[in-house]
Chain A
Amino acid sequence: GNSVTQMEGPVTLSEEAFLTINCTYTATGYPSLFWYVQYPGEGLQLLLKATKADDKGSNKGFEATYRKETTSFHLEKGSVQVSDSAVYFCALSSLYSGAGSYQLTFGKGTKLSVIP
C-alpha cells in the first residue's frame, strides 16, 4: 500500500535560518505529491504540490521537487519567519483502483517552531 515517511519533529529554528523537512514515499503507480500546512488553531491548507517526476512545487518561499529516483519530496525554505511556525504534512494521492478515490495518504507531520 501507499505510505509516507517524514522526519520527526519538533524542529526549532531561529528566524532567517534554512529549513529542510525530509519526506519519502512508497506508492504504486504515479502519485501526486503534496505539502499541507496546519497553522495553530486553523485547518489544513495546501502549501504546494507536484504531479509528476521532476516537477517543482513552490509557494510562499517554500519549494519541493518530486524525485522519482529517490522517492522523495523534501520541503525547503531559504529563510524562515516566525509566521512559518506550524505543523507541516507531506502527503500523496494516487487513484484508488476501481473506486475513483484520490484519497490522501499523510505523513505524521513535523512541527516547526521559529523563534525571533
Chain B
Amino acid sequence: GAGVSQSPSNKVTEKGKDVELRCDPISGHTALYWYRQSLGQGLEFLIYFQGNSAPDKSGLPSDRFSAERTGGSVSTLTIQRTQQEDSAVYLCASSLALSRFPGEQFFGPGTRLTVL
C-alpha cells in the first residue's frame, strides 16, 4: 500500500515568508509525528498528533511553528516569518496508535526547506 507522502519535496523561500508543509500519513494510522533533521541538531521531535488533537507539542522550537491535522488524516506544519535557522529537512511519520510495538513509525521522504 501507499506509504507516507509529503509535499513539496523541496521548498526555497525568503527570510520572513510563511511556509506550509504537508503530510499524508498511511491510511488508518491515527498517530502522526513531525520531526526536523538538520546538520547541527540531528533528528528532533517537533509535535505529535493522536487523531486531530496534538497532546504533545513539546518539540516546537518557537511560536512561529504550528501544526494542524484534519479528518484524522492530512497534517500541515506551518512556519511563520521563516528564519535561516529553520532550514532543515522536515520529516513526517505515522503509526498505528495501538501498535504492538510502540514507537514503530513509518517515515515520509521529507521536505527540504531552504530559507535564503
Contacts and interface: CB of A to CB of B under 8 A. Distances in A.
Interface of A: 32, 34, 36, 42-46, 49, 51, 89, 91-96, 98-109
Q: Nearest 5 CB-CB pairs, A to B? A: A93-B103, A101-B56, A106-B43, A101-B48, A44-B107
B95 A103 contact: no
Contacts of A36: 107
Interface of B is mostly: strand
B33 A103 contact: yes
Interface residues of B, number: 27
B101 A103 contact: no
Contacts of A42: 109
Identify the interface centre among A32, A45, A91, A103: most chain B CB within 10 Å of its CB: A103
Given A49-B101, A51-B101, A100-B50, A89 B43 contact: yes
Contacts of A100: 50, 55-56
Contact of A43 (B50, B56, B91, B102): B91
B31 interface: yes
A1 B33 CA distance: 19
B102 A102 contact: yes
Nearest to B31: A102
B25 interface: no
Contacts of A101: 33, 48, 50, 55-56
